[in-house]
């Protein structure tokens, strides 16, 4: 069996944060039944350009492979009946909605425990289900602003800068996946489910880690650093060579000694200004110009070869195309393929989660409501008469 083949999750999810969490579980074999609202055309991610036609988009493909799609109107009484039948045969209900919506939609543990005492209700919201911001919508860009990330990103003389990726969304999705698996484990052990209250705000704030710790316990104020330098380790930053940028770091004293010898400045090893971590940090204004002049004298490829042979931590600053062509990307099998009726062969990145030796199988993201009959008939046991009754009642959208 696949690692999570015995796990079934009802996903009321949209866009990226929620689906990024559940796609990790889908790749590991979990049955992710994605509920899409028939009145709104399903997940808005289906309509995100570029490479988008009608209800298909590569954006949607990114976050929804290996899942099943059904269309259910959760606000219609008949749709609620279908949803509750799914709750009875599932392990978790997973959503990424505004903080006040899980209660209004009646998808919390208090609402569903009578149907399935072991159900786990995981709500991934912008700001959580409590607090003064509970009712506010949460988007990655806003969260990077409100939790201080943008204030820490970019050059000191430049404007606040967003990360090039939606890292709050993706990190929160992973946190939600961990929370859900933890809840399912406890529910199977104890026979009692629970709520999991996960938020983008909590995730982004927690990822402030040691800069926040330093501030909470002293007078340290986190701030942007020149050339993406580490806030305390010197040198550990980007350096411009004669033709490109590289990253060089000395996170241990042995690396500092290797570095100065490799670049032909062995005298710095005995310079009392730079003898320890603390010394180098205190005298960074004297040290960094020396290193910058040296690195600017040769091309990146030469420095990476010299430093690599000396055992000094270093890397190129790749473009995205260069990163995708890196030999490690191929060696780790990070690019996988699925077949799509509109886009043909679709190449995409696999999940970083690796469990056991068997590689996951990859199935394209579902077309909207593609698995309607499969779920209704095979999983829930509905016959033609029952499906017709529910359809007339508006369970699957406005009755024809």
* Alpha helices in the chain, H assignment, sequence order: 17-27, 58-64, 77-88, 101-104, 109-112, 140-146, 149-152, 167-190, 200-206, 209-216, 253-262, 277-282, 284-295, 300-310, 320-325, 327-331, 372-373, 384-392
Give the pLDDT band (50/70/90) at residue 67. very high
The two beta strands, 8-12 and 56-57, are unpaired
pLDDT at 398 over 90: no
CB count in 10 Å sphere of residue 313: 16
Mean pLDDT for the stretch of residues 141-163: 96
Burial class of residue 244, CB neighbours in 10 A (0-12, 13-18, 19+): middle
230 a catalytic residue: yes
Give the SS3 label for residue 9: strand
This prediction's pTM: 0.94
CA distance 193 to 329: 39
Domains assigned to the chain: 8-206+335-392 (3.40.50.10540), 227-240+245-316 (3.30.1540.10)
Residue 341: pLDDT over 90: yes
C-alpha distances out from residue 141 to 30, 57, 219, Å = 30, 22, 28
Write the pLDDT tens digit of every residue in 192-230.
999 999 999 999 999 999 999 999 999 899 999 999 999
- Cα dist. 388→36, 43, 78, 277, 383 in Å? 19, 25, 11, 72, 9
Tokens of 165: 């990726």
Q: Write phi, then psi, for 176 (nearest 5 degrees).
A: -65, -40
- How confident is the model over 216-225, as pLDDT tens digits? 999 899 999 9
Q: Which of 215, 227, 230, 340 is catalytic?
A: 230
* pLDDT single digits (tens) 370-386: 999 999 999 999 999 99
The pLDDT tens digits for 254-280 are: 999 999 999 999 999 999 999 999 999
Q: Is 213 left (phi over 0), alpha (psi -120 to 50) or beta?
A: alpha
State both tokens at 226: 């020149």
Could you tell me how far CA 46 lies from the centroid of its own chain? 19
Q: What is the mean pLDDT of residues 327-336?
A: 96
| pLDDT(399) > 80 | no
Position 1 scores a pLDDT of 87
| 229 Cβ neighbours under 8 A, 6+ residues apart | 235, 236, 237, 238
Q: What is the pLDDT of residues 161-191, one digit of tens each?
A: 999 999 999 999 999 999 999 999 999 999 9
CA-closest candidate to residue 242, choices 283, 189, 303 = 303
Residue 351: DSSP 8-state: P
Q: Output the pLDDT for position 388.
A: 96
């Amino acid at each position: 069996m696949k690692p999570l083949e015995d796990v079934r999750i009802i996903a009321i999810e949209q866009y990226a944060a929620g689906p990024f969490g559940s796609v990790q579980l889908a790749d590991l074999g979990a049955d992710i039944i994605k509920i899409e609202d028939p009145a709104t055309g399903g997940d808005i991610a289906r309509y995100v350009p570029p490479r988008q036609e009608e209800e298909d988009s590569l954006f949607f493909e990114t976050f929804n492979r290996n899942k099943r799609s059904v269309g259910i109107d959760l606000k219609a009484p008949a749709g609620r009946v279908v949803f509750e039948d799914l709750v009875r045969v599932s392990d978790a209900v997973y959503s990424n909605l505004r903080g006040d919506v899980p209660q209004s939609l009646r998808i919390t543990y208090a609402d569903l425990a009578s149907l399935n005492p072991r159900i786990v209700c995981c709500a991934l919201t912008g700001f959580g289900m409590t607090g003064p911001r509970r009712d506010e919508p949460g988007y990655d860009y806003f969260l990077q602003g409100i939790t201080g990330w943008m204030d820490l990103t970019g050059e000191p003389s430049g404007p606040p800068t967003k990360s090039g990726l939606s890292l709050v969304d993706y990190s929160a999705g992973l946190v939600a996946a961990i929370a859900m698996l933890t809840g399912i484990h406890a529910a199977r052990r104890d026979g009692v489910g629970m709520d999991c209250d996960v938020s983008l705000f909590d995730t982004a704030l927690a990822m402030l880690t040691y800069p926040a710790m330093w501030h909470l316990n002293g007078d340290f104020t986190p701030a942007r650093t020149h050339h993406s330098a580490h806030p305390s380790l010197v040198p550990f930053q980007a350096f411009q060579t004669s033709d490109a940028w590289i990253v060089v770091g000395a996170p241990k004293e042995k690396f500092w000694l290797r570095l100065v010898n490799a670049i032909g400045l062995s005298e710095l090893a005995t310079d009392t200004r730079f003898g320890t971590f603390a010394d180098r940090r205190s005298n960074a204004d004297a040290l960094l110009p020396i290193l910058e002049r040296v690195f600017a004298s040769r091309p990146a490829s030469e420095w990476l070869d010299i430093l690599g042979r000396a055992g000094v931590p270093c890397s190129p600053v790749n473009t995205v195309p260069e990163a995708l062509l890196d030999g490690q990307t191929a060696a780790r099998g990070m690019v996988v393929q699925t077949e799509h009726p509109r886009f043909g062969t679709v190449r995409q990145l696999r999940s970083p989660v690796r469990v056991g030796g068997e590689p996951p199988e990859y199935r394209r993201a579902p077309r909207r409501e593609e698995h309607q009959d499969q779920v209704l008939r095979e999983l829930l046991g509905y016959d033609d008469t029952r499906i017709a009754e529910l359809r007339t009642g508006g369970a699957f959208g406005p009755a024809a």
